[in-house]
Amino acid sequence: MLKTLKADFDIIFERDPAARNVLEVLFCYPGLQALWLHRLAHLLFSIGLPFIPRLMSHISRFITGIEIHPGAQIGCSVFIDHGMGVVIGETAIIGDYCLIYQGVTLGGTGKESGKRHPTLGENVVIGAGAKVLGNIQLGNNVRIGAGSVVLRDVPHDCTVVGIPGRIVYREGAKVNPLDHARLPDSEAQAIRYLMDRIEVLEQELQSLRKETGVKECEILHLAHTSCRLRDRPIESFLDGADGELDAESLTGV
C-alpha cells in the first residue's frame, strides 16, 4: 500500500510541470487527495464493511469535487489532473499510469447489474470532459480527446475523438500524453473533403453543360452515383463508424 501511495505522489512531478514542491502537491492537488481517500475506502469496501466506504467517498467528493465509488479498481501511478467533476463508477477498472483530466465520466449506460463501467488499460489518457460509458475496453496507450463520448471498445495504441468517438489514429508513434494540440480534428477533415468534392462537382457540371447540353437533373444524377476512395472519410463521419483516416483515404489513391 505504501509503495502505491508513493507512486501516486511521484507521478504528479513527472506529468505536471506546475508541481513545484512536496507541500504544494500534498495540500493543493485534489486528484491526489481523492485517490488516497479512495484507496482507503476501497480497502474497507473489499472486506465487506458497510456504509463507511460510501460515506468516505461522499466526504471525498465534498472536499475535492471528485466522485469515485469505493468499488472502483484503480492501478498505481494514476494521475487525476485538476479533477473537478470527475466521476468513476463502481465497476470501473483503471490500469497503471493513466491520466484523467477534469470533467471525465467513467460511467454506465443503464440500470444493468454486474460489470457496467469501462475498463482502461495502462497509460491511457482521457481528455477534459470526455465520457466513457458502458462495459467497454480501452486498450493500452489509448488517448481520448477532450469532449469525446466513447461507447465502443478501443484497441491498443489508438486515438479517439468526437461524438460518438471515432478512431482517428492507430498504432502510431508514441507521443507526449500532455500534447493535446496533436489530436486530429475528424470533423474539420470531413467538412474539408466535402467542400473539395462540391467544388469538383460544380466544375464538372459547368463543363458538361457547355460541352453536351445535358439537362441539369441528369448531370446531378451522374455526380451522385460517382464514387471515389476519397469519399471514405466523409462516409465514416456521417455513419459514425469506428475507423482511421488511412493514407489511401487522404490521397484518394
Computed over every residue of the chain, the mean pLDDT equals 81
H/E segment holding residue 35: helix 30-46
Give 253's Cβ-side CA count (13 Å radius): 5
Measure the CA–CA gap between 224 and 204, rounded to whole angstroms.
Answer: 12
Measure the CA–CA gap between 233 and 243, rounded to whole angstroms.
Answer: 9
Percent pLDDT > 90 in the chain is 40
Handedness of CA 82, 46, 57, 115 (dihedral sign): positive
Cβ(57)–Cβ(45) below 8 Å = no
pLDDT higher at 189 or 252:
189
Q: Return the beta strands (E) in 50-92 as ranges.
A: 67-68, 73-74, 79-80, 87-88
Whole-number pLDDT of residue 159: 87
Is pLDDT of 224 > 60?
Answer: no
Is pLDDT of 229 > 80?
Answer: no
Is pLDDT of 247 > 60?
Answer: no
Query: Which residue ranges form the domains of the chain, and what is each CATH number?
Result: 2-182 (2.160.10.10), 186-251 (no CATH)
Is pLDDT of 72 > 60?
Answer: yes
Of 86-90, 120-124, 168-172, 180-184, minimum mean pLDDT range: 180-184
The model's pTM: 0.71
Is pLDDT of 92 > 90?
Answer: yes
Whole-number pLDDT of residue 218: 56
pLDDT tens digits for range 129-164? 999 999 999 999 999 988 899 998 988 888 888 888
Is pLDDT of 175 > 60?
Answer: no
Q: Which residues contact 149 (CB under 8 A, 6 or more apart)?
A: 130, 131, 133, 162, 163, 164, 165
Measure the CA–CA gap between 134 and 146, rounded to whole angstroms.
Answer: 18
Task: At 36, list the grid cell.
Answer: 488516497
Is pLDDT of 4 > 60?
Answer: yes
Cβ(67)–Cβ(84) below 8 Å = no
Classify residue 215 as exposed, middle or buried by CB count within 10 Å of its CB (0-12, 13-18, 19+): exposed
Measure the CA–CA gap between 143 and 126, rounded to whole angstroms.
Answer: 6
Is pLDDT of 253 > 70?
Answer: no
Whole-number pLDDT of residue 205: 78
